[in-house]
A and B are shown apart, each in its own frame.
Chain A
Amino acid sequence: MKKVLIIGGGVAGMEAAGQLAVLGYSVVLVERKDVLGGHVRKWDRLFPNKRPSEEVVNHLLQKVQHPNVEIRLKRTVTDLRRNPNGSFLAILSDQSPVSADVVLFATGYHLFDAYRKEEYGYGIYNNVITSADLERMFKNGEVKTAEGKIPQRVGIVHCVGSRDTKCGNLYCSRVCCVTGVKQAIELKELIPNVEVFNFYMDLRMFGRGFEQLYLEAQQKHRVRFVRGRLSEASETQDHGIFLKVDDTLVGRPMKMTVDMLVLMVGFEPRKTTFPLLESLGIEKNEDGFIKIRDCHFDENRTNVDGIYVAGTCTSAKSISETINDACSAALQIHRNLSAKVKDKRK
Chain B
Amino acid sequence: MNQFGFSINKDKSIDMDKTSQKLTQYLTTEEPSFNICMSCGTCSATCSAGNFTDFSLRRINLLVLRGQLDEVRDEVNKCMLCGKCTLLCPRGVNTRGVIVAIKQYFDKL
User: Quick one: closest B residue to A243, CB to CB?
Assistant: B16
Contacts known (A222-B28, A249-B62); A256 close to B17, Cβ less than 8 A: yes
B residues less than 8 Å from A222 (CB atoms)? 28, 35
Contacts of A227 in B (CB 8 A): 39
User: Chain B residues near A255 (CB, 8 Å)?
Assistant: 13-17
8 Å CB contacts to A: which residues of B6-44?
A: 12-17, 28, 32, 35-39
Asked if B98 CB lies within 8 Å of chain A CBs, one says: no
The answer to whether the Cβ of A257 comes within 8 Å of any Cβ in the partner chain is yes
Which residues in chain A, 294-327, are within 8 Å of chain B measured between CB atoms? Answer: none
CB <8 Å contact, B39 and A256: no
- Main secondary structure, interface of A, reads strand
What are the residues of chain B within 8 A of A254 when measuring CB–CB?
13-16, 66
Complex: how many Å from CA A222 to CA B60?
17
Please measure, in the bound complex, the distance between the C-alpha atom of A247 and the C-alpha atom of B58, giving whole angstroms.
14
Chain A 101-121 interface 0/1 with B at a Cβ cutoff of 8 Å (1 = within): 000000000000000000000
Asked if B65 is an interface residue, CB under 8 A from chain A, the answer is yes
Q: Which of B28, B35, B37, B66 contacts A247 (CB 8 A)?
A: B66
Closest A residue to B14 using CB positions: A254
Chain A, range 208-241, C-beta contacts under 8 Å to B: 214-215, 218-219, 222, 224-225, 227
> Smallest CB–CB gap between A202 and chain B, Å?
12
B49, chain A: closest CB distance, angstroms: 19
A341 an interface residue at 8 Å Cβ cutoff? no
A-chain residues with CB within 8 Å of residue B39 when the two chains form the complex: 227, 249
Q: How far is the CB of B69 from chain A (nearest CB, A)?
A: 14
Q: Does A253 contact B (CB under 8 A)?
A: yes
- What range describes how many residues of A lie at the interface? 10 to 19
The answer to whether A219 and B35 have CB atoms under 8 Å apart is yes
State whether A218 and B36 are in contact (beta carbons under 8 Å apart), knowing that A224-B65, A253-B12, A254-B66 are contacts in the complex: yes
Bound state CA distance, A215 and B36, in angstroms? 7
A252 part of interface (Cβ distance < 8 Å): yes
CB distance A219 to B36 under 8 Å? Answer: yes
Instruction: Answer yes or no: A250 CB below 8 A from chain B CBs.
Output: yes
Given contacts A247-B66, A249-B62, A250-B63, contact A256 B36 (CB under 8 A): no
Cβ–Cβ < 8 Å partners of B63 in chain A:
250
A-chain residues with CB within 8 Å of residue B17 when the two chains form the complex: 255-257
The answer for the CA separation of A215 and B32 in the assembled complex, in Å, is 13
Closest to B25 in A: A222
User: A228 to nearest B CB, angstroms?
Assistant: 11
**With A250-B59, A250-B62 as given contacts, are A218 and B14 in contact (CB-CB < 8 Å)?**
no
Residue of A at shortest CB range from B91? A215
The residues of A that contact B37 with a CB separation of less than 8 Å are: 218
Top 7 A-B pairs, shortest CB-CB distance: A256-B16, A253-B13, A254-B14, A218-B36, A250-B62, A219-B36, A249-B39
User: Contact residues of A with B, CB < 8 Å?
Assistant: 214-215, 218-219, 222, 224-225, 227, 247, 249-250, 252-257
- Chosen A-B contacts, 21 in total, with CB atoms closer than 8 Å, are A215-B36, A218-B35, A218-B36, A218-B38, A219-B32, A219-B35, A224-B65, A227-B39, A247-B14, A249-B58, A249-B59, A249-B62, A250-B14, A252-B12, A252-B13, A253-B14, A255-B14, A255-B15, A256-B15, A256-B17, A257-B17
